[in-house]
Each structure stands twice: as structure tokens, then as C-alpha cells.
Amino acid sequence: MHVQTRAWRAGAVLATALTWVALLAGCTSSGVGDVFGRPAAPDDVIRVSPDDGSRDVHAGGRLRVRVPSGRLESVTVVRSQDGQEFPVLGRLSADETVWKPDDPRLVLAAEYTIDAVALDGDGRRVARHATFTTFVPDRRFVGYLMPENRATVGTGMIVSVQFNRQITNRAAVERAIRVTARPAVEIRPHWFGDKRLDFRPRQYWRPGTRVTVALRLRDVEGAPGAYGLQYKNVSFTVGRSQVSLVDAAAHTMKVRRDGKVVATVPITAGAPRTTTYNGKMVVMERLAVTRMNSRTVGFGGEYDIPDVPHAMRLTESGTFVHGNYWSPDAPGRVNVSHGCVGLKDVKGGGSGTPAGWFFDRSLVGDVIEVVHSDDKKVAPDNGLGGWNMGWDEWKAGSAVW
């Protein structure tokens, strides 16, 4: 009897031990906690991607915070860059198990800090802190934009972005620049080589249009190892319409304002050996006075005038509309310039002269078209000459459409 009791007790102890082993094994396999109420490790309950401590994460890396079971109570993400901190906005899924950022692309050369609080599958509250850093590029590129922010421009303005590096991934860069208008109008891009991207509508802008250029180039890989730097908006307003027609054979310029001829101004165009380009050109900059030296535009030492008044650039190659005080009898009679369009003026640039009158009434973005000159049509990429291309040809210059 005594032996049987001892045997029974031994069996009971063994059975109890086996039961605890089974319970513990069952709880351990759940990955949530154990029978003593201890929660699982925070990194098991709250999963963060990229992994905590990751380095050199690229812009396309996916930032996610999720829980396999339970729900997220709060997620706070901060981006630290150049000594400043920026909140990263995002939202929870409907079932509160996944948090995603509103902007899926990561910013390069930054540190991200994630603080999350969740309830696990058993209702226990768990907190997790994680960090990762993104890739720091050795090379960056920027786009220099024309026109300037908040400018008022003429109806012929073409949005032009000149890059400081060659762009080989043109489609990605093109997608990162958006040009919109109010009132809305179709706007299309055109690449000139691998360092310049222009935008324009089918026809000249309507007066009063407000145009916004959204540059989203930051961290876009424009060429192998070269990433964009800018993330900003630039806006400008289209003013009144002014289109001037230069007739090189008749030595006149007819100025139209909002469709009506407001003046016919005598001019002198390019001499027979240095003719003026035909075609539509757009005022790129206005200079009250500037120096013009023939050696800077491919000529010899024919001229060096330190104080050319009322100068407005039309091409990169050096075509201007400007005041002319050194050939006072030429405008309206004979073409004597080296390719520019000259208007009568006085030394120092008088406001009452034809050149002064036209300068005061002109904007960057105004169109000046030259006809009847014994020269070729200006190249579309020489200045803002894109209006010399047909709409279908212009659209064909996109890397995306």
C-alpha cells in the first residue's frame, strides 16, 4: 500500500510536470507572451521597415510600421536633415495594423526616427523606438529655372529648366517637374539635348494666366550616382499680350498690344554679311545698359561698345533688340547691325527715344518675330525659340509622352 501510494504520487508529479511543459511549449510557440503575462519583445509585436539601424537606404526604400496582430495606437516619424527636424506625415490603415507615409519616397542624406505604440493580440501595450539613415549621394544636380518666381511675363514665355549636369534618365526627371496653369491649358515638355527641358502650351499664354512650376527633383536619380536637390514651387503671372513684327526689308517694327497695332517703329537690322535671324524670338532679359563686344559672339574686333542702352536679349548667341546712338541715320533706312535689331536712341538712353519707349513697355516673355531677312530661321534651342516648332514636333521631344 505504501509502495502504491508513492508510485501514484510519483506519477502525478510527472503528469503535472508534463502538463506545464506542454503549456509552456504552447505559449512559447505563439510568439506573443507567456502564461505569466510577460509580453513578447517590442520588435516582435511592432515591425518596422527598413530595419532598425539600417544605413544607406535609397529613396525607393519602403517605410512601413505594422503589427502582425493587435493594433497600432500611435506612430510618430521624424526626419532629421542638415540640423533640422521635419515631421513625416502618414496614416493608419482602416484596421489600424499598418502605418504608411503620405509621400512614399524617402529623403536622402537624412536620419529617420520612429516611435510607435501598439496593443498586442492580448491587449498589452508595447512601445518601440527605431532609427535608420538614408543614402548620402556624392553628386547632386540642380535645375536653373526661367522665369523667376513671382515674375510678370509676356504671353510668349517658355518655361526653361537648365541642368548643371547631363541627364541620362530623362523620363524620371521629366516626371519630377510639373507645370500647371489657371485657367487650365495643355502644357507639354520638350528636351533640347541632355541638359535642358522646356515647357510650353500649343499657343501663346492667355493674358492673366497664373502658371506654377512644381520642381520635385530632390533625390531623383537623373544620371548614375547623381541625385536631384530641389523641392519647391515657382509661380509667375502672364501679363498683357505684346507681339512685335520686325520687317528687315522694310526697316520697321510693328508693335501689337492685345491684338491692336500701337506703334510702327523704324529699325535697323543685320547688314548683308551679318544678317538677323528670321523667326519668333522671346525676350529673355532686359538690361538698361550693357557692354557689347564682338569677340564674345564669334566675330573679330569689329566693335566694343561699353554702354549699349535699352538692351533686350533674344538669343543665347547674342541677338538683341537695343538702342543705337552710333548710327543715328540707319533706323528706317538701312540695315547696318551685326545681327541685332537697333532702334534710334541717344547716348545714355533717353526715355523719349523710340528705343526707350519700347524698352519701358516690354516684358521678359514678349515675342519679337523677324521676317524678310536674308538669313535662316532661328534654332528652337537658341534662346526661347521653341515657338518656331510645330505642336506635333514639340510634343515628340518628350521622354514620357
CB-based burial label for 237 (10 Å; 0-12, 13-18, 19+): middle
Does residue 35 register a pLDDT over 90?
Answer: no
Cis bond upstream, residue 189 (ω within 30): no
The alpha helices in 148-283, defined as continuous H runs, are 170-175
Q: Smallest Cα–Cα separation from 188: which of 386, 384, 377? A: 386
Collapsing DSSP states into helix, strand and coil, what is residue 119? strand
Does residue 2 register a pLDDT over 90?
Answer: no
What cell does 255 get? 508693335
Catalytic position from the list 190, 251, 322, 338: 322
The reply to whether 139-239 and 242-385 are identical in fold is no
> CA-CA distance, 386 to 378, in Å (whole number)?
10
- In CATH terms, 242-385 corresponds, of 2.40.440.10, 3.40.50.12780, 1.10.540.10, 3.30.1280.10, to 2.40.440.10
90-99 per-position pLDDT tens digit: 999 999 999 9
Among this protein's residues, is 340 annotated catalytic? Answer: yes
* Per-residue model confidence (pLDDT) at position 13: 37
364-378 per-position pLDDT tens digit: 999 999 999 999 999
187-222 per-position pLDDT tens digit: 999 999 999 999 999 999 999 999 999 999 999 999
Q: Which CATH class is domain 139-239?
A: mainly beta
> Grid coordinates 499680350 are at which residue?
241
> Grid coordinates 497600432 are at which residue?
72
219-274 per-position pLDDT tens digit: 999 999 999 999 999 999 999 999 999 999 999 999 999 999 999 999 999 999 99
Q: Smallest Cα–Cα separation from 107: which of 124, 127, 88, 92? A: 88
> CA-CA distance, 218 to 110, in Å (whole number)?
12
The alpha helices in 160-306, defined as continuous H runs, are 170-175
Domain covering 42-133 in this structure, CATH number: 2.60.40.3780
* Per-residue model confidence (pLDDT) at position 83: 83
* Lowest-confidence pick of 169-183, 253-267, 287-301: 287-301
Q: pTM surpassing 0.85?
A: no
Catalytic position from the list 190, 310, 338, 340: 340
Domain coordinates of the chain in residue numbers? Answer: 42-133, 139-239, 242-385
